[in-house]
Amino acid sequence: MKNIGIDLGSRYVKLVKESNGSIEYNIFDTVSFYKQFIARNGAETYIDTNKLGLSDDYKIVATGYGRNLMSFSNVEIISEIKAHFRGALKQTGNDSFILIDIGGQDSKVILGKEGYIEDFIMNDKCAASTGRFAENACSVLGISIDELSKMQHNPANLSSTCAVFCESELIGLMASGVEIESIAAGINKSIAKRLLPLIKSFQADTIYASGGVANNKSLILFISQLIGKNVTPLNNPQFNGALGCLPL
């Protein structure tokens, strides 16, 4: 069986192709993906596999932020919680863990026990613990996401609990002479602190992180320090949801 797993994220679409035991990884800007590869035939909406360079014998399973925006005739849809949990199972071989997923628009924590989802909690109301907040903060500071990932020393204290007001606070800190490195470290610690109540809802010895933000080494360090346990990013954190759409 040939399989395609797609995570229709708010910023990026992640696509994995599994064939003959090998997996190929692809990433697209979300808007560009919809323009290029989403086709319509009357009332029918489908993913154009020909434009993706795929044969019609692939089974397509999708998840993500965009899964409910349209109904696809040639795609099976599964929930983000199921996809991310299955992705962690597939990548680690472990069946009991906490998974912290930091997406572009929301963050979620999933508790898995003995191969099943026991519980989960989401924050989809506040942007201050999401990838979009990190991107916006980097734009204000004039640094890249990669640079943000390296900044962990002498974190400035950010008092704002709202992503919108926090941007104004960043500008104020720069105007008052606080070093960019310190402000950036403060952003990482601020995101970690906002994730803390979600993570503390559950108990497990093994904790993984997924989502593109899991590549932020300084953020992972701050989360680990705050909860007193090591947090391990998955090998392919940004593709975890797409991998979870593939058969186990």
Q: Are strands 2-8 and 58-63 parallel, antiparallel or unpaired?
A: parallel
Can you give the pLDDT at residue 127? 58
Confidence of residue 224 (pLDDT cuts 50, 70, 90): very high
Q: What is the pLDDT of residues 152-183, one digit of tens each?
A: 999 998 876 666 667 788 999 999 999 999 99
Residue 208 vs residues 85, 102, 153, 197, 220: alpha-carbon distances, Å? 10, 11, 23, 16, 10
Distance of CA 69 to the CA centre of its chain: 18
H-helix segments, the chain: 30-37, 80-92, 131-141, 145-149, 163-175, 180-199, 217-227, 240-243
Whole-angstrom Cα distance, residue 110 to residue 161? 23
pLDDT (mean) for 180-188: 95
Can you give the pLDDT at residue 44? 83
> Angle CA(67)–CA(69)–CA(74) in degrees, nearest 5?
55
Closest by Cα among 216, 211, 172 to 190: 216
Distance of CA 211 to the CA centre of its chain: 2
Contact between 30 and 12 (Cβ < 8 Å): yes
Handedness of CA 197, 198, 201, 205 (dihedral sign): negative
Q: Over 60: is that where the pLDDT of 225 sits?
A: yes
Q: What percent of the chain has pLDDT over 70?
A: 95
Amino acid found at 174: M
Q: Which of 9-23, 29-43, 152-166 has the lowest mean pLDDT?
A: 152-166
- How confident is the prediction for the chain on average, in pLDDT? 91
Can you give the pLDDT at residue 203? 95
Contact between 185 and 156 (Cβ < 8 Å): yes
Global pTM reads 0.91
Same fold, 2-77 and 94-238: yes
Residue entry with tokens 């593109």: 212
**Taking the domain 94-238, which CATH number applies?**
3.30.420.40
Domain-by-domain residue ranges, the chain? 2-77, 94-238
Can you give the pLDDT at residue 128? 56
pLDDT (mean) for 106-130: 85
Q: How many CA atoms lie within 13 A of 237 on its CB side?
A: 22
Whole-angstrom Cα distance, residue 107 to residue 110? 10
pLDDT (mean) for 67-95: 92
Fold of 2-77: Nucleotidyltransferase; domain 5 (3.30.420)
